[in-house]
Amino acid sequence: MQIGMIGLGKMGINLVENMLRNEIEVSACDISENARKQAQKIGATIIQEVESLSNLPKPRIVWMMLPAGKVTNQMVHKLSEILEPGDLLVDGGNSFYQDSIANAECCQLKEIYFFDCGTSGGVDGALNGGNFMIGGNEEMFHRYLQPVFEKIAQKDGYLYTGKVGSGHYLKMVHNGIEYGMMQAIGEGFEILEEGPFDYDLHSVAYLWNHGSVIRSWLMELMAESFEKDAHLDKLTGVVHSSGEGLWTIEEALKLGIPAPIITMSLQMRLRSQQSDTFAGKVVSSLRNGFGGHAVEQTK
- Single-letter amino acid, residue 238: V
Q: Which of 17, 178, 244, 281 is catalytic?
A: 178
Sheet with 130-135: strands ordered across: 45-46, 25-29, 2-6, 61-64, 88-91, 113-120, 130-135, 153-162
The distance from CA 196 to its chain's CA centroid, rounded to whole angstroms, is: 38
- What is the chain's alpha carbon radius of gyration, rounded to the nearest angstrom? 20
Quote the DSSP letter at residue 297. B
The residue annotated as part of the active site, out of 10, 49, 171, 250, is: 171
User: What backbone phi and psi angles, to 5 degrees, belong to 159?
Assistant: -145, 125
* DSSP-based three-state secondary structure for 55: helix
Residue 178 annotated to the active site: yes
CB contact at 8 A, 64 and 93? yes
Contact by Cβ (8 Å): 91, 136: no
Amino acid (one-letter) located at 296: E
| Catalytic residue ranges | 171, 178
